[in-house]
Amino acid sequence: MKRWHQLTLAVLCLAYATFVCSQTAVTSLRGTITDPSGALVAGAEVALDNPASGLRAMRTTDANGAYSFLQLPPGRYIIRVKTAGFGEQSKEAELLVSQPATINFSLSVQRSETTIEVSSEAQTVNTTDATIGNAAGNATIQALPMEGRNVPDLLSLQPGVVYLGRQINQDQDSRSGSVSGARSDQSNLTLDGVDNNDQRQGYAFSGVLRSTLDSVEEFRVTTTNSNADSGRSSGAQISLLTKSGTNRLHGSLYEYNRNTLTASNDWFNKQAELSAGLPNRPGQLIRNTYGATLGGRIKKDRLFFFLN
């Protein structure tokens, strides 16, 4: 009986710790509502909806015509604005992890007409803080090729980041890369807001828990000017966010294949083969990565699952 009590207490502690830590893997949205003349509109209703998860939130603009949604789970949202005397307006935007978004509205004086705008670039406007860094959504992660299909390899695809690749003696030397000149072990890597740093080796681009390509929804690398809530390091702040289930059942079966059928021979390998009287053939390198994903709902708008 005592053992069961200990197990129950451990599960509760882990659940609570995950709940607290995951609050750092969030984003935010704010903006200003104006009329056609540029005057601020106070008292306008702003509704935020995420159809995939059923999340809905409401705000009312203040005397300065401003609204804000803080501590939002990243995802694709529809923002609707309405007030008396103006036509209802809506925009769609993808809010990425750790990247505050600013979306402004200019209402038209039309009672019966609804203006619909679809905005895919709105989330890139960050007027909230001085952080510098890029965020990448799932479409970018899936489209870019990478050796080994290791997501942290993509973190180097921005200014200020140097990636030296995997070294043979990496276990003895963690200097596999740096961000804005900081040491490799000064990068802070989090997965869903939880510390994912390799405390023993201090690698710059690899967490202690490997993140598979098909389980990562998005990520952001803050190269400089990180906020006080970012964490423990003076270097890069790297936030990885895993996928989640939605109200719709979805899944996939996949195979990633790499071979040398269309590869040319390496110059040094070719010279060695010619000198040994061997045919001119590139070295064989064949890789097959198989996998599957499945996500869906357990209770609509409340509880979801995702497996990879």
Question: Which of 26-40, 104-118, 177-191, 224-238 is predicted with the least confidence, judged by mean pLDDT?
Answer: 104-118
Q: For position 65, what pLDDT does the model report?
A: 94
- Residue 56 pLDDT > 60, yes or no? yes
Q: Could you read off the pLDDT of 241-298 as tens digits, one per residue?
A: 888 888 999 888 988 888 888 788 888 988 998 899 998 888 888 888 888 999 999 9
Cβ atoms of 153 and 238 within 8 Å: the answer is: no
Give residue limits of the domains in the chain. 20-124, 132-242, 250-307
Rounded to two decimals, what is the model's pTM? 0.68
CATH architecture of 20-124: Sandwich (2.60)
Q: What is the DSSP letter of 307?
A: E
Closest CA to 139 of 221, 222, 239, 243: 243
- Residue 123 pLDDT > 70, yes or no? no
Q: For position 166, what pLDDT does the model report?
A: 57
Q: What is the mean pLDDT of residues 138-158?
A: 74
Q: Could you read off the pLDDT of 157-214 as tens digits, one per residue?
A: 778 887 766 554 555 555 567 788 777 778 888 888 888 887 777 676 677 777 778 8
Interatomic CA distance for residues 104 and 270, integer angstroms: 60
Domain 132-242 in this protein, CATH class = mainly beta
